[in-house]
């Protein structure tokens, strides 16, 4: 249990009131200089430090502070992981993707202590706060599409890959999505929600042979996407791609899709039950 005491001085009360008026629950310290122009930068820094020490604010990294709900312990406080994605990218282009996006779309059964944030200009690093990893995955500009703002609760929306782009991303790097078994299960459980025409369009636009072959093979295995399978067959090249990246690249090759089946497909079938 925290030993911090949440007594609030008049100045701190004004600080919190101003953030509330700005409809802010987080801010960069550098922003606070502009929100409180009547105070010197040194005064703002001192106030922030005092409020962090009291447990009124939580500090993440060097510049991000978050208002701690009064009834919560600042020593263990962590905001909703999805809400942290935006401030942690420092204004850079981003979206929540991979396994985290599957969770937002309601497609996973195994929880993960990791938030995956796809970015274009942020370093591909992992930060850890309160035991939760925030993994930044770098994508090229050409792969930055298929995103939208999605409700995660009654009050908040976040930028996330849509269902079809989430599938494409996961097939691009299955190791970021729990492996091909988890991806196949996600596709199967979303069979009534997937827009197949959009999925094909995204596969073409993403322009990855591995994605095209993995998608075509899985759809055919699952008995789905009959309308787009012929187009995926026409898009495939003669090179061989592994079905999964999390396991050794050994197994038989299916020439129909030019893909190496390095996963026990019985495991996939069992996961669908």
Q: Which residues lie across from 241 on neighbouring strands?
A: 259
Residues 38 and 46: their CA atoms lie apart, in Å, by 14
**How does strand 94-96 pair with strand 114-119?**
antiparallel
Looking at domain 10-67, its CATH class is mainly alpha
Per-residue pLDDT of the chain (273 residues; tens, 9 = 90+): 454 667 889 889 989 999 999 899 999 999 999 989 999 999 999 999 999 999 999 999 999 999 999 889 999 999 999 999 999 998 899 999 999 999 999 998 788 899 999 998 778 899 999 999 999 999 999 999 999 999 999 999 999 999 999 999 999 999 999 999 999 999 999 999 999 999 999 999 999 999 999 999 999 999 999 999 999 999 999 999 999 998 999 999 999 999 999 999 999 999 998
What pLDDT shows up at residue 7? 80
For residue 173, give the nearest of 204, 138, 141 by alpha carbon. Answer: 138
Q: Which residues lie across from 136 on neighbouring strands?
A: 117
Tokens standing for residue 68: 């701690």
Asked whether the whole model's pTM tops 0.85, one would answer yes
What pLDDT shows up at residue 5? 62
Contact (Cβ atoms closer than 8 angstroms) between residue 18 and residue 36:
yes
For residue 218, give the nearest of 257, 245, 172, 246 by alpha carbon. Answer: 257
- CB count within 10 Å of CB 128 equals 11
CB burial string 226-249: b at 16+ within 10 A, e below: eebbebbeebbeeebbbbbbbbee
Q: Which residues lie across from 137 on neighbouring strands?
A: 118
Residues 46 and 74: their CA atoms lie apart, in Å, by 18
| Sequence-separated (6 or more) residues with CB below 8 Å from residue 20 | none
Residues 245 and 237: their CA atoms lie apart, in Å, by 19
CATH 1.10.10 intervals, the chain: 10-67
What pLDDT shows up at residue 189? 96
């Amino acid at each position: 249990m925290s030993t911090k005491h949440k007594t609030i001085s008049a100045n701190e009360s004004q600080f919190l009131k101003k953030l509330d008026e700005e409809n802010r629950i987080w801010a960069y310290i550098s922003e606070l200089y502009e929100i409180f122009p009547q105070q010197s930068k040194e005064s703002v820094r001192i106030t922030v430090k005092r409020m962090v020490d009291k447990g009124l604010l939580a500090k993440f990294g060097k510049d991000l502070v978050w208002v701690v709900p009064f009834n919560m312990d600042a020593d263990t406080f962590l905001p909703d992981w999805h809400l942290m994605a935006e401030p942690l990218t420092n204004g850079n282009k981003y979206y929540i993707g991979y396994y985290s996006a599957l969770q937002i779309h309601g497609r996973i059964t195994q929880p993960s202590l990791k938030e995956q944030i796809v970015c274009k200009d942020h370093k591909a690093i992992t930060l850890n706060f309160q035991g939760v990893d925030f993994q930044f995955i770098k994508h090229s500009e050409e792969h930055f599409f298929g995103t939208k703002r999605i409700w995660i609760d009654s009050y908040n929306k976040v930028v996330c890959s849509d269902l079809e782009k989430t599938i494409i991303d996961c097939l691009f790097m299955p190791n970021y999505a729990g492996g091909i078994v988890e991806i196949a299960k996600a596709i199967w459980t979303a069979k009534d929600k997937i827009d197949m025409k959009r999925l094909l369009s995204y596969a073409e636009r993403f322009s990855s042979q591995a994605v095209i072959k993995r998608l075509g093979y899985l759809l055919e295995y699952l008995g789905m996407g009959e309308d787009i399978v012929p187009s995926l067959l026409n898009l495939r090249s003669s090179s061989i791609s592994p079905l999964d990246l999390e396991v050794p690249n050994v197994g038989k090759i299916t020439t129909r899709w030019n893909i190496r089946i390095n996963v026990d497909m019985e495991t996939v079938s069992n996961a669908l039950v």
